[in-house]
Structure 1
Amino acid sequence: MTEQRLAIVQLDDPYVSTLVQDALAQHCPALAVTSEAPAAPVSPPALQWREYEAIDWDCVSEHRDSSLANAYCIRKGLIRKVQMANVFQQYCAKRPGCLLSQHVPETWIFQLDHPDYLDEAFNECWEVERGFRANAERENPADRERFILKPSMTGRGVGIYLLESLEDMERVIGELFGDSDGEETDDEDGDDERGSAWLLREWVIQRYVDKPLLLQGDRRKFHLRAYVLAVGRLRVYLYRDMLALFAGTEYDVAKLDAMDAHLTNTCLQQKRDGFDESQAVRAFWDLANHGLTTPELEHIFQQCCDVLGDCFEAISSDPIGFQPLPNAFELFGFDFLVDEAHKVWLLEANAFPDFAQTGHQLRGIVAGLFNDTVRTVVKPFVLSFLNDATVEHFVH
């Protein structure tokens, strides 16, 4: 008789929790799904699919053959922007001309403890300051270099600024540090944008990709959200059904203060009056109905695959920042931008991405993602210790 084992599904978002439970019920009926860990379990859970902070890492470590978790314990080298920039710079220095050197915007690490030390901070990214000074001599806005400032550890568009002058930078630093006079804030949850940035004290500055691909009849900027499954140590899969996430207003590179035109995060668009889900989020392959050909979409998708290969090779070379576990897997949300030449640019990676941003219209994409994740990872793992005769593999 097959032993029944527990699968603990403990997620904050009902949208995600329901889809995960449905996938487990369909593909792993031998698992008893619960949202609470028993007080005195007879055996470790076969699966923990939980928020990162709730995962029992002792269990993951002690039961590597029989207990699976939906996250890696250490992956800051991938999901924190400063650490990722460090890893990429070291990787590219050893491999001139590699894909990462060609498909990641030029990036500088910017660290600042106090506004008085701004000049010293620019010593580490003097190219940015040089760009600002050169812009002062360029009357035509189209000729100016632009940069984007991102806090290392925030997401969803929080604390992002577009810059093209020293005055822009000084204004932003004034907003971030406010009247704190060096006093730290108590806001450790990142709810206050200024407080969160001040507490972190480190950012990345990237060269802004100011000629994004715009669709026929739609002048709004968009980026691609790619769902990437990392398994064990280490297989990586890119889910074919990517998303295109659109800005709220038409793109105009000269209007840096019009953030609705530059930031494409769906969570920001949802706050706008008259938000239309069907216009904010589209299926990537449906862009064939908006002026792109199927071969062009295939070329973009293949670039994403190739760049991700280099990305994970680089990250895997940093054992301090990324430690894949044999009995763990994780779904990451990678953001790519496509420029007007159809070249793909890797922007960042997100842990525990907001799957609900897909919305109800494209809910099937996320449902398919969780079904394929369960079939590819969870089912084979569970069957391996329940001695079932059949293992089905599904790879996107």
Structure 2
Amino acid sequence: MFSAFVSWPTAPVTKSLVIKALEALKPSPAVVTSPEGDLNLLWSTYDDIDHELVHSQRETVLSSSYTFRKALIRKHFLSRSLHAYVTKHPDSELTNASPKTFEIELSFVDELEELLLDELWELGKELEDGEKWWILKPGMADRGNGIRMFNSKAALEKIFEEFEESDSDDDSEHESGGEENKTAVVTSQLRHFVIQEYLNNPLLMDPAEVSINGSRRPDEPQGFKFHLRAYCVAQGALKVFLFDKVLALFSAAPYVQPSAEEDEDGDPLPVDLGPHLTNTSLQAERGEEGVRLFSELISCQILSGPERSQFSTEDMKAILDQMVVVLAETFKAALENPIHFQPLPNAFELFGIDFLVADTPGAQPRFQVALLEINAEPAIELTGPRLSWILQDLFTAIGEVCVQPFFNSKLEELEWTVGEMRHGLIKCLDQQVRAPP
């Protein structure tokens, strides 16, 4: 029997799922909540893991997190990794599966003018044209904080001016602000931002067509934007799996194309993010209203094309197949940045992957997935109680695939090919990587 250290001080749902997954193992380990003593498994939040122990005891200690994985989970590092990879591999699926992205590093708005004339010259030209919309995301913030939309240099300057103003506001003023203040960030502390091209042709459906808790289906469905939250498990050095139960997270308001508006002084007004942001962290008051299983959308009407049709099982499978390929290519890209991604043979990790599905009628394929971001320690509690059963399936699968074999050498691994599914996990990548020293 081995001993398992479990610690999730701010995530009780995750802690419960981990303990249940460990109890399902044969034999089940002794679970402790103190990092003291002779430990074999560290299945806990990143900050509570003894990473030095993990590196020094690779034969006997298993960790639930890689030590170095910024190339995946930090937006600006991920952007660099993907850009470098598609430059070297122009035929990669990532060429069409990652929105055009710029990095920006500044603390004060008066630095922006010089950046747009120098390092971000290409972005400056795009903003002069004003034809495209862009999304600003802080490189190290999460849960939708700091996300803004703009299509001009003046609008981008206005955003950073508002961030600076929020720096000087006291807490009471900050908390009493509107939606923009609720998601403001401290610019002087978050220097890194990424600017992504806004994809203005998202696949649209109406979540209300999937009745939950007896809710009435709409007589006239409306098109809502959504993104797919997929759970990815990386194991050792290196196998990558996609959990087959994917969530669709919908926006709070029906979709409209973004438009630029000005106040009476001619200054750009903030864009209403309601139809565009699909982050459940910003919609806590909606409960489970905007959360569906991707598979539940089969037979729902596609509301984004010129003609209405039904979303089919074949459509969903084609999208999942793309996600498998994009995940594999993304981890390959990270592997080419060995400073910031170092897979260990005695580690595994759960990631939350966000994809957007674009709808381009007449194109092949019609539905094209785009990778938005990768999240460590994803906020699984936002799934809600109705679909909590998929989380237990996920954590049980992690125990069976990542934990059990490490401590039971008698378990012979059967041939598991890329694309094949076991325990609800689809293998995306199986690549032998030399472990870092």
TM-score normalised by the chain length of structure 2: 0.80
Q: Which residue of 1 aligns with 2:249?
A: 245
Correspondences of 1:318-337 after superposition (within 5 Å): 318-337=337-356
Q: Which residue of 2 aligns with 1:355?
A: 380
On the 8 A contact 2:22/2:28 being kept in 1, the answer is: no
How big is the alpha-carbon RMSD for the aligned residues of Structure 1 and Structure 2? 2.0
1:298 pairs with 2:317: yes
1:22 pairs with 2:20: yes
> Within 1, Cα distance between the matches of 2:139 and 2:75?
5
> Within 2, Cα distance between the matches of 1:166 and 1:313?
35
Q: SS of 1:197's equivalent?
A: coil
Report deviation, 1:127: 2.8
1:146 to 109, 130, 133: 133
Q: Which residue of 2 aligns with 1:72?
A: 66
2:273 to 259, 283, 298: 259
Q: SS of 1:325's equivalent?
A: coil
Report deviation, 1:118: 1.2
Q: Which residue of 2 aligns with 1:8?
A: 5
Q: SS of 2:195's equivalent?
A: strand
What letter is aligned with 1:267?
Answer: S
1:198 pairs with 2:192: no
1:364 pairs with 2:358: no
2:332 to 313, 322, 331: 313
> Within 1, Cα distance between the matches of 2:166 and 2:15?
42
Correspondences of 1:89-108 after superposition (within 5 Å): 89-108=83-102
> Within 2, Cα distance between the matches of 1:363 and 1:257?
34
On the 8 A contact 1:383/1:391 being kept in 2, the answer is: no
What letter is aligned with 1:348?
Answer: E
Report deviation, 1:125: 2.3
How much identity, in percent, do the aligned residues show? Answer: 36
On the 8 A contact 2:355/2:373 being kept in 1, the answer is: yes
Q: Point out where structure 1 has 5 or more consecutive residues left out of the alignment.
A: 136-143, 182-190
On the 8 A contact 1:245/1:265 being kept in 2, the answer is: yes
Q: SS of 1:121's equivalent?
A: helix
Q: Which residue of 1 aligns with 2:148?
A: 161
TM-score normalised by the chain length of structure 1: 0.88
Q: Which residue of 2 aligns with 1:87?
A: 81
> Within 1, Cα distance between the matches of 2:255 and 2:249?
14
Q: SS of 1:257's equivalent?
A: coil
- Identify the structure with the greater helix proportion: 1
On the 8 A contact 2:107/2:187 being kept in 1, the answer is: no
Q: Which residue of 1 aligns with 2:210?
A: none
Partner deviation per Cα, 1:183-238 (whole Å, 9 max, x = no partner):
xxxxxxxx996554321211111110011000162411100001000001110001
Report deviation, 1:28: 4.0
What letter is aligned with 1:327?
Answer: N
What letter is aligned with 1:283?
Answer: L
Q: Point out where structure 2 has 5 or more consecutive residues left out of the alignment.
A: 169-180, 207-220, 260-269, 301-309, 361-366, 415-421, 427-437
1:280 pairs with 2:290: yes
Q: Which residue of 2 aligns with 1:187?
A: none
2:398 to 370, 373, 387: 373
> Within 2, Cα distance between the matches of 1:297 and 1:284?
8
> Within 2, Cα distance between the matches of 1:353 and 1:8?
20
1:111 pairs with 2:111: no
Report deviation, 1:63: 1.2
Q: Which residue of 2 aligns with 1:59?
A: 53
May I ask how many residue pairs the two structures share in their alignment?
365
What letter is aligned with 1:226?
Answer: A
1:131 pairs with 2:126: yes
Residues 251, 322 of structure 1: alpha-carbon distance in 2 compared, 3 angstrom cutoff? same
> Within 2, Cα distance between the matches of 1:52 and 1:196?
24
Report deviation, 1:29: 3.1
